[in-house]
Chain A
Amino acid sequence: MATVEQIDREAALAQEQGHRRRDFINIAAVAFAGVGGAAFVYPLVSQMAPAADTLALASTEIDLAGIEPGQSIKAIYRKQPLFVRHLTPQEIAAANSVPADSLRDPETLEARTKPGKSQWLVTLGVCTHLGCVPLGAAEGENKGEFGGYFCPCHGSHYDTAGRIRKGPAPANLEVPDYVFRSDTVIEVGAAA
């Protein structure tokens, strides 16, 4: 026998038809929990990115005062080798004598150095082939066929502007962002 409450209930159900208030609450609650859960994923992913102390070492100052023409030094920039080379006039001439268009990765020495400072070639010491450290920065090392750098791993030859000339590497040695803080100090990692 139907009681008064039951009749009210059937009526209430009929009124709400397809979408009941409970469906709305259900979807809203689950969606809210989903957004909350997804928000928690962000810190879990972000924690693997470089930490503040790692980023604090992202730029390095280098003093150029002691580097004579023809010499180069190896420094460390973002835990990777950095070559700073004081080019001789002959090396600059050798680099400029090659038409850039004829190269695998066309770039002029001018474009790879700072205006008026074309004797300072600053590149990463990381071969663009598979990441070995090329020879040629230290005294007596093999500088390759073009007098620049030579990667002993797979035989890539770089010229005096650090451009790839022969061998498997696809691109020139990377020139990092750097600025001259004075005539003899550069800050590597700082954008101009």
Chain B
Amino acid sequence: MSFPWANHYQPKNPFMKYLDERLPLPRLVYNAIGGGYPVPRNLNYLWNFGVLAGLALVIQIVTGVVLAMHYAANGAVAFGSIERIMRDVNWGWMLRYMHANGASFFFIVVYIHIFRGLYYGSYKQPREMVWILGIVIFLLMMATAFMGYVLPWGQMSFWGAKVITGLFGAIPLVGEGLQTWLLGGFAPDNAALNRFFSLHYLLPFVIAGVVMLKIWALHIPGSSNPTGVDVKGPQDTVPFHPYYTAKDGFGIGVFLILFTFMVFFAPNYLGHPDNYIEANPLSTPAHIVPEWYFWPFYAILRAFTVDFILPAKLWGVIAMFASILLLFFLTWIDRSPVRSTSYRPLYKWFFWLLVLDILVLGYCGGAPAEEPFVIISQIASIYYFAHFLVILPIVSAIERPKPLPNSISESVLHGEERESAPLGAGGTFGKPQPAE
């Protein structure tokens, strides 16, 4: 598909030939994730996370469709219907725990995927559109996860809905009307619950659609790789199947082991006990926090405590949205032509500082809104924006990158043609590789 030496789909079975001439769906799959997609031969395990994100989406859709057969989106019975799923519906407890933990795992996988992209410069040309579509998916995921968390109609659901729709209330002039419109009332109630359920069911399919666009966009330049060096010839690539289906298969096995461990042994570890108390509009939980995957953004939201020209509440909302919207422009902020951070000695430090900064923000977002967490999250928020708006442009301008390898195969296999050939065409077999 992307390179001239890609294998061509050649159906042998007469039925597959017949099908290929009329509906070339097997050809599409072959070219997308089969033997017809040449992939750089040096991908490490961080490249598993795209496929893992796809798996997480499938798990969410399958368990979600099934849960919707038992859930009732009505304030009077929603909480009870969840308890019925947990106690009475066959395997309901497992399906719900899979769905709840599946959301967390989806975010874990996607966060690693995003940091992979940040480290290896996957956002740089020619893959800008892949990155931008990824951020779109991320935003859709956040909306979907938030609305899904409201559906059990527990205390955290209710107050989460109130606080998050309250963000829109911070917008000048139209804010209050907008919040009332979003909720279909003055506080979260049946109207809000019903529309959240409707959208929570819709958005995953929108995500699936954007995923397809993203894969389409990815296949034009082909996958990036840990050196960041462009693919130069057939010796730099291997077919996706069987090489990366096998590697992804291993990653899927590890993912499922961790996932099932959480589902069966610690299903509520990532949840909040207050959400097992039915929604009560007259009492706010003492310590209200979103799910862990929103903590860094929640910390930025709460970091603004003083009015400065605009009200502090509005600043928090602007900063929180800006922290994500910034990522859309990353391609044009980081002007360095070198993709992989492995060859950027100066930027490497700032990359890991950013990771640390986001972890600190995450910790503060989950902590109560009191000192010292307020001041820490203020400093961390400032650093977050400084990283993208100040540090990154300067670093990319003054940095002297390390010399890049001439090609992927040279960097990995030292150019030895026979060594780099696939199994059966020479190379070493059954012997440890000599240390170079």
Q: Which residues of A contact B (CB under 8 A)?
A: 5-6, 8-9, 12-13, 29, 33, 36, 43-44, 46-49, 51-54
Chain B residues with CB under 8 Å of A36's CB are 256
CA distance A54 to B88 in the complex (A): 8
CA distance A36 to B252 in the complex (A): 12
Q: Are B430 and A12 in contact (CB under 8 A)?
A: yes
Looking at the assembled complex, report how far the CB atom of A191 sits from the nearest CB atom of chain B, in whole angstroms. Answer: 22
Q: Are A46 and B90 in contact (CB under 8 A)?
A: yes
- 6 A-B pairs with C-beta separation under 8 A: A9-B427, A43-B91, A44-B66, A46-B91, A53-B84, A53-B87
Instruction: Name the CB-closest residue of B to A29.
Output: B249
Instruction: Name the CB-closest residue of A to B62.
Output: A44
Residue B231 is within 8 A (CB to CB) of chain A in the complex? no
CA distance A53 to B256 in the complex (A): 32
Looking at the assembled complex, report how far the CB atom of A169 sits from the nearest CB atom of chain B, in whole angstroms. Answer: 33
Q: Are A49 and B428 in contact (CB under 8 A)?
A: no
Residue B308 is within 8 A (CB to CB) of chain A in the complex? no
Chain A residues with CB under 8 Å of B69's CB are 47-48
Given contact pairs A13-B424, A29-B249, A53-B84, A47 touches B431 in the complex (Cβ within 8 A): no
Residue B95 is within 8 A (CB to CB) of chain A in the complex? yes
Q: Are B249 and A6 in contact (CB under 8 A)?
A: no
Q: Mark B48-88, 1 if CB is under 8 A from A, else 0.
A: 00000000000000100010011000000000000010011
Q: Are B431 and A49 in contact (CB under 8 A)?
A: no
List residues of B (370-425) whose CB comes within 8 Å of A's CBs. 418, 424
Given contact pairs A12-B429, A13-B429, A52-B87, A47 touches B95 in the complex (Cβ within 8 A): yes
Chain A residues with CB under 8 Å of B94's CB are 43
Dominant secondary structure of chain A at its interface with chain B: helix
Looking at the assembled complex, report how far the CB atom of B34 sits from the nearest CB atom of chain A, in whole angstroms. Answer: 15
Which of A33, A43, A52, A53 contacts B95, CB < 8 Å?
Answer: A43
CA distance A116 to B427 in the complex (A): 90
Looking at the assembled complex, report how far the CB atom of A186 sits from the nearest CB atom of chain B, in whole angstroms. Answer: 27
Q: Are A8 and B429 in contact (CB under 8 A)?
A: yes
List residues of B (89-143) whose CB comes within 8 Å of A's CBs. 89-92, 94-95
Residue B233 is within 8 A (CB to CB) of chain A in the complex? no
Given contact pairs A13-B424, A33-B249, A44-B66, A49 touches B90 in the complex (Cβ within 8 A): yes
Residue B426 is within 8 A (CB to CB) of chain A in the complex? yes
Chain A residues with CB under 8 Å of B84's CB are 51, 53
Looking at the assembled complex, report how far the CB atom of A15 sits from the nearest CB atom of chain B, in whole angstroms. Answer: 10
Instruction: Name the CB-closest residue of B to A46.
Output: B90
Given contact pairs A29-B249, A44-B66, A51 touches B90 in the complex (Cβ within 8 A): yes
Q: Are A5 and B428 in contact (CB under 8 A)?
A: yes
Since A44-B66, A54-B88 are in contact, a sample of 9 more A-B pairs with Cβ atoms closer than 8 Å, ordered by chain A residue number, is A5-B431, A6-B426, A12-B429, A29-B249, A46-B90, A47-B70, A49-B90, A51-B70, A52-B88
Chain B residues with CB under 8 Å of A54's CB are 88
Looking at the assembled complex, report how far the CB atom of A62 sits from the nearest CB atom of chain B, in whole angstroms. Answer: 25
CA distance A43 to B59 in the complex (A): 13
CA distance A8 to B424 in the complex (A): 13
CA distance A6 to B428 in the complex (A): 6
CA distance A12 to B89 in the complex (A): 55
Q: Mark B234-249, 1 if CB is under 8 A from A, else 0.
A: 0000000000000001
Chain B residues with CB under 8 Å of A13's CB are 424, 429
